[in-house]
Each structure stands twice: as structure tokens, then as C-alpha cells.
């Protein structure tokens, strides 16, 4: 089966799942049900797309297939902001906060953090990418500790509000944010699309990429920004999903067996949509909302991650 | 013309390349020799802009290396490092096609494909061209990388230990190919060599580095001498002439 065919099959599968999600179990007010379901679909497509694309980009840059962008500590920034708001102003401020201002606050702080981190670290020429990741990881851990410290201090009832935000959930997604989020993700995707071939060269590694005339530092800097935007937007929209990108990226590598990013990115994004819509179908229709999507994703993803680790170990 | 002027490289406080100057002769095979840690690979990496230099100038065909746009430079020089682990799954043909990236930016024209085919033929990889890189032996893989460099079609080719991991037969094959590139295609090759006798038998020009400085340079007959090599390697060696080749005995 050619790679084009494989993409076509995935498109059909994704559309089929979306139709299943939209049009089965229709009860009550059709207009209302359809509208709320399509909003969910749009959110899942955006989050699936952003999670998959950001992970593939990140793994291509680092030449490492078991890293996820969460290593730069963006979800720790997200949790820190949520906790700090509750800690300083009380949980009512967080729950009553308008969606737009909450989105701006969360996404803004994450993107701001990345801009600061990169501009600080890229000021020196010839900086090692892994050094940046390491700094991100350390800062992430620091933010996590700060977060848990504040969580120990606050009222347990307030903590339960934060806990809600700790896991991604499509059900408490904010619908009026779909437009700005969609625009940001589309812009990031467009940029990526125009640099597909450079991504192919980047997957050969830094030395080969420079040798073949890729402006390595500039490209990596911009890609890191793209990754930061994608992760921030999707996290601000539904909350942090840890293993999701990792699974869909690796499933795409295994399915396509190619280095070409036009297939890898499209494939991973489609797998992302399929996994989220399929997962949400299971959550809503099988578990009847007794669990959330991210619990399922993290469980499946965690198991798959262990499998990847063991497989990599054997390969050496 | 590649000219290195007063180039400096420091790691932390330690100077690994100390104001090295060097001009690379055109259409010749030049070997960089010297003990471990002499700075050979570092120098080669700076000459091919893989790592930034901390001082001095490197002129390539009348222009300083930092003033080049990197894609323009990719049509003039190519570099192959010694360890080439690639995470992506590639066939030989796909790898060699990457050599055309500086010209095609990923969209191969018919002319690009001709270059790729020619490079594969030149390295005798035709029967292997649809095999995946991870299915090849070390020698075959090394040939595929050289084919990629050939497809890149640059006048200058820099190689960091091209004989790494090759057995005697494949090492000789590799050196003969490099010789042919110089003699038939008029390429200028600079390579880091560890095996002094391979360097002696196949190169035109030798540059010896020690502790980050050039200790001597010249054609093979001027470097392959007892006293010169003893100075470079701090080892009691003797050079003998066997079948018109200068062979260093160091065991």
C-alpha cells in the first residue's frame, strides 16, 4: 500500500469516527446536541492535530523518538499558573474567570516562558539543543515543586478545583476559544508545511543538516517556537495530555516507515484525531462519562511508552 | 582555495586549536595526522562550519566562511563525520538523494536524479540502492555516505576518519575511490587519518597537528621520516621504503 493510500485510509477512518460521534444516539433537541457535539469534534481535531504535530517536530529536532515536548516544562508552567491563581486569589477567581482571559493567561504564560527561555539560551552562539532541553527540564521540576508547595498550603476544597485542571478533559473544554486556538494552530501548521523538506533533512541529524545547507540554528529556534505555540494552545484549551503525542507519533512512524514528513506529520495528526474521537466515543458511550479521556490516553500511552523503552533497549 | 588563518578554538578555558594557519592545495588529497586530542577533527569541523570558531578566519574561494549563506556553502564544501547514526529509516537511494538538497531544496529534477544515479554507480552501490541503511554492513554504509557526498557535487570534500570501522579490504577500496575522485574528477579532499601508513600511501600532502598547533606540513616524502614522525607521536618509529611506499613501523 502506498503512503498516499495510507493517508487516504486514515482520512476515511477519521471521518467515519467523526460521523459516528455526531450522528449516533441522537436524542432530545437535535440542534442543541449536534451543535455541542460539533464543538467537541472541533476541539478534539485541534488538540489531536496540535499534540501530534508538535511531538513529531520535537522528535525530529532532537532525533529522539521517545521524547515529548512536555520535557521543556510547559505543562508545569500551566499548572503553576492555575495553582498560583487559586493560591493568591482563591478558587472562585479561577472558576469565575472568563474563558478568554483564562486562555490568554495560560497560553500567554506558556508562550512567554518559552520565548524567555529560548532568547536567553540562544543568545550564545552554537548552543547545544540538549542543553536547552535540560534547562527546560530543571525549570519544569522547579515549577512543579513550587506548585506542590502551594497545593499543600491551600484549603483541600480549593485543591479539588485545581485537581480538575490537572487532567485534560474534552467535557470541560471552553467552546468560545475554538476560533483563536484554531487560528494559532493553523498558522503553525502552515509554517510547518512550508518547511517540510527541511524537516526531512533535520531528521538526518545536526551535522548532516548543516552540511546540506540548512540554517540549523535559525530553523531549530523557529521550530521550538512552533512547538511551544502548539503545546500551549492545546494545553490551554483542554489541559495537559502527557503521553498522547508520543503514542500517535510512534504509531505513525511504524505505520508509514518513511522519513518524509509530509506523510509522518499528516499521519500522526490523523492518528491523533482518530485516537481522541475514538477515545471520547468510548468514554461517552461505553463508560458513560465515568472516566475522562486523558485517563484512558495516559494509561494506554504509559503502557506503550514502556513498550518503546524496552524495544529501544533491545535494539542496542 | 581553502585558507585557514590564525584560527582559534577554546572549550571552556582550554585552547584546543591555537592560531592554526594552513592552506589546502587544490586538487590534492590532504591528510591531517597527529595523536589523539591534537585537534584534527575540531579543525575540520570549523573548516566546514559545523562548529563556530573563536578567532581567526577561514577563507573559501575568496570569501570568509561566516559571510557565506549556509545553502551557498553547501554547494562548495561537504563534510562527512565519522559517526553517522540516523534515526530515520532510509534506503540507500533516498540517502544519496539528500545530497542534492542544496540544489533542489527537496524537489528533485531530472538532472538531480542523474547526479544521484551517477554517484550510486560510482560507488558501486547499484545492487544495494533499494536496501535500507540498517540492513547494510559497515563498509557498505560508509560507501553510501560517500555517495551522498558525491551527489552533493562540491569541489571540496572534508572527511573525518573515512576508514573508521572498515576492514583492510574495504579500507583499501575506500582509499582507491578517494584517489579516483581527486585524479579523475579533480576534487580537493581533506581528511583526518589515524592510520599513518594509509595516509602515506594514498595522500599527496600531509599536515601534522599536535596540541592544537601545526607542527609540520609538506608532501609525503618530507613528513614520512623517522625524526619527523618521532616528534609528532613521541614514539620510537622507523620509516622504511617497501615497494616505493614509505611505511612507518611502530610496533
Span A239-278, pLDDT tens digits = 777 678 888 888 888 888 888 888 889 899 998 888 888 8
- Digit-coded pLDDT (tens) for B187-215: 899 999 888 888 888 888 888 888 888 88
**Alpha-carbon separation of residue A78 from A233, A237, A301, B63 (angstroms):** 11, 11, 21, 48
**Distance, CA of A174 to CA of A98 (rounded, Å):** 10
pLDDT tier, A126 (very low <50, low <70, confident <90, very high otherwise): low
Interface test with B, best of A63, A210, A211, A249 (most B CBs within 10 A): A211
Q: Could you tell me which residues come within 8 angstroms of residue A183 by beta carbon, excluding any fewer than 6 positions away?
A: none
Q: Note whether residue B93 is domain-resident.
A: no
Q: Note whether residue B233 is domain-resident.
A: yes
pLDDT tier, A117 (very low <50, low <70, confident <90, very high otherwise): confident
Percent of chain B scoring above 90 in pLDDT: 2
pLDDT tier, A131 (very low <50, low <70, confident <90, very high otherwise): confident
Question: Which residue among B51, B52, B101 sits closest to A212, beta carbon to beta carbon?
Answer: B101
More confident residue, A160 or A12: A12
**Distance, CA of A79 to CA of A147 (rounded, Å):** 7
DSSP B25: P
- Is the pLDDT assigned to residue A81 strictly greater than 60? yes
**Alpha-carbon separation of residue B136 from A308, B54, B133, B162 (angstroms):** 24, 39, 6, 17
Mean pLDDT on B146-163? 88
Closest by Cα among A72, A70, A67 to A249: A67
Mean pLDDT on B122-138? 82
B80 touches A: beta carbon within 8 Å: yes
Q: Which of A98-102, A216-220, A300-304 has the highest mean pLDDT?
A: A216-220
Smallest CA–CA separation between A205 and chain B, in Å? 7
Smallest CA–CA separation between B48 and chain A, in Å? 8
If one counts the domains in chain B, the total is 1
- Is the pLDDT assigned to residue A194 strictly greater than 70? yes
Find out whether A214 and A201 touch, Cβ atoms under 8 Å.
Answer: yes
Q: Which H or E run contains B157?
A: strand B156-160
DSSP A286: I
More confident residue, B166 or A198: A198
Q: Note whether residue B49 is domain-resident.
A: yes
B66 touches A: beta carbon within 8 Å: no
Mean pLDDT on B213-229? 82
- Is the pLDDT assigned to residue B53 strictly greater than 80? yes
- The structural domains of chain A, ordered by start, are 3-315 (1.10.3470.10)
- All three cell numbers of B13, joined, read 578555558
What is the sign of the dihedral through the CA atoms of A267, A232, A221 and A126?
Answer: negative
Q: Note whether residue B20 is domain-resident.
A: yes
**Distance, CA of A154 to CA of A91 (rounded, Å):** 10
Q: Where are the alpha helices (DSSP H) in A127-215?
A: 129-153, 156-166, 178-194, 196-202, 206-211
Q: Note whether residue B238 is domain-resident.
A: yes
Subunit contact A203:B87, Cβ cutoff 8 A? yes
Subunit contact A259:B102, Cβ cutoff 8 A? no
DSSP A64: -
Q: What is the pLDDT of residue A315?
A: 52
Taking the CA atoms of chain B, what radius of gyration do you get in angstroms?
18
ipTM over the 0.95 cut-off: no
Find out whether A116 and A228 touch, Cβ atoms under 8 Å.
Answer: no
Q: Could you tell me which residues come within 8 angstroms of residue A235 by beta carbon, excluding any fewer than 6 positions away?
A: A74, A75, A78, A106, A107, A110, A168, A241
Q: Note whether residue B143 is domain-resident.
A: no
- Is the pLDDT assigned to residue A316 strictly greater than 50? no
A214 vs B contacts (CB less than 8 Å): 70-71, 101
Q: Note whether residue B179 is domain-resident.
A: no
Question: Which residue among B49, B86, B105 sits closest to A197, beta carbon to beta carbon?
Answer: B105
CATH number at residue B32: 3.40.50.300
Percent of chain B scoring above 70 in pLDDT: 99
Domain that residue B43 falls in: 1-74+189-251
- Is the pLDDT assigned to residue A125 strictly greater than 60? no
Mean pLDDT on B217-240? 81
Q: Note whether residue B155 is domain-resident.
A: no
Amino acid at each position: 500500500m502506498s503512503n498516499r493510500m495510507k493517508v487516504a485510509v486514515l482520512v476515511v477512518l477519521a471521518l467515519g469516527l467523526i460521523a459516528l460521534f455526531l450522528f449516533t444516539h441522537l436524542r432530545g433537541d437535535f440542534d442543541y446536541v449536534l451543535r455541542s457535539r460539533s464543538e467537541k469534534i472541533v476541539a478534539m481535531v485541534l488538540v489531536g492535530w496540535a499534540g501530534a504535530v508538535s511531538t513529531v517536530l520535537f522528535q525530529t529536532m532532537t532525533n529522539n523518538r521517545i521524547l515529548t515536548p512536555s520535557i521543556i516544562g510547559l505543562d508545569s508552567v500551566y499548572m503553576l499558573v492555575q495553582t498560583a491563581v487559586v493560591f493568591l486569589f482563591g478558587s472562585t477567581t479561577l472558576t469565575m474567570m472568563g474563558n478568554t482571559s483564562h486562555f490568554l493567561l495560560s497560553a500567554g504564560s506558556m508562550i512567554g516562558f518559552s520565548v524567555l527561555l529560548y532568547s536567553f539560551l540562544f543568545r550564545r552562539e552554537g548552543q547545544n539543543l540538549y542543553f536547552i532541553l535540560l534547562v527546560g527540564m530543571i525549570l519544569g521540576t522547579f515549577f512543579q515543586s513550587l506548585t506542590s508547595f502551594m497545593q499543600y498550603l491551600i484549603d483541600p476544597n480549593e485543591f479539588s478545583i485545581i485537581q480538575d485542571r490537572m487532567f485534560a478533559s474534552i467535557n470541560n473544554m471552553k467552546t468560545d476559544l475554538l476560533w483563536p486556538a484554531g487560528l494559532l494552530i493553523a498558522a503553525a501548521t502552515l509554517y510547518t508545511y512550508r518547511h517540510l523538506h527541511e524537516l526531512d533533512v533535520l531528521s538526518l541529524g545536526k551535522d548532516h543538516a548543516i552540511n546540506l545547507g540548512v540554517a540549523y540554528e535559525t530553523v531549530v529556534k523557529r521550530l521550538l517556537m512552533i512547538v511551544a505555540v502548539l503545546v500551549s494552545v492545546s494545553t490551554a484549551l483542554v489541559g495537559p495530555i502527557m503521553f498522547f503525542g508520543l503514542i500517535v507519533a510512534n504509531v505513525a512512524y511504524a505505520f508509514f516507515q518513511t522519513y518524509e514528513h509530509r506523510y509522518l506529520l499528516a499521519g500522526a495528526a490523523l492518528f491523533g484525531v482518530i485516537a481522541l474521537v475514538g477515545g471520547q466515543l468510548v468514554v461517552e458511550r461505553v463508560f458513560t462519562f465515568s472516566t475522562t479521556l486523558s485517563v484512558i490516553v495516559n494509561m494506554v500511552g504509559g503502557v506503550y511508552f514502556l513498550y518503546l523503552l524496552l524495544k529501544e533497549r533491545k535494539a542496542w | 582555495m581553502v585558507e585557514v588563518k590564525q584560527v582559534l578554538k577554546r572549550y571552556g578555558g582550554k585552547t584546543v586549536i591555537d592560531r592554526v594557519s594552513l592552506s589546502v592545495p587544490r586538487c590534492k588529497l590532504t591528510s591531517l595526522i597527529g595523536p589523539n586530542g591534537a585537534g584534527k577533527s575540531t579543525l575540520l569541523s570549523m573548516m566546514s562550519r559545523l562548529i563556530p570558531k573563536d578567532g581567526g578566519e577561514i577563507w573559501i574561494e575568496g570569501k570568509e566562511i561566516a559571510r557565506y549563506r549556509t545553502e551557498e556553502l553547501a554547494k562548495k564544501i561537504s563534510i562527512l563525520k565519522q559517526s553517522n547514526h540516523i534515526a530515520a529509516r532510509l534506503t540507500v537511494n533516498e540517502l544519496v538523494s539528500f545530497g542534492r538538497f542544496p540544489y533542489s531544496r527537496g524537489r528533485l529534477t531530472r538532472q538531480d536524479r542523474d547526479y544521484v544515479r551517477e554517484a550510486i554507480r560510482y560507488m558501486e552501490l547499484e545492487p544495494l540502492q533499494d536496501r535500507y541503511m540498517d540492513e547494510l554492513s559497515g563498509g557498505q554504509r560508509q560507501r553510501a555516505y560517500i555517495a551522498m557526498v558525491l551527489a552533493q557535487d562540491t569541489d571540496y570534500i572534508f572527511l573525518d576518519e573515512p576508514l573508521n570501522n572498515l576492514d583492510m579490504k574495504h579500507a583499501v577500496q575506500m582509499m582507491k575511490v578517494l584517489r579516483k575522485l581527486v585524479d579523475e574528477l579533480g576534487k580537493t579532499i581533506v581528511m583526518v587519518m589515524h592510520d599513518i601508513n594509509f595516509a602515506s600511501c594514498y595522500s599527496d600532502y600531509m599536515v601534522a597537528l599536535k596540541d592544537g598547533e601545526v607542527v609540520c606540513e609538506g608532501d609525503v616524502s618530507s613528513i614520512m621520516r623517522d625524526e619527523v614522525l618521532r616528534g609528532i607521536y613521541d614514539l620510537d618509529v622507523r620509516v622504511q621504503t617497501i615497494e616505493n611506499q614509505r611505511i612507518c613501523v611502530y610496533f
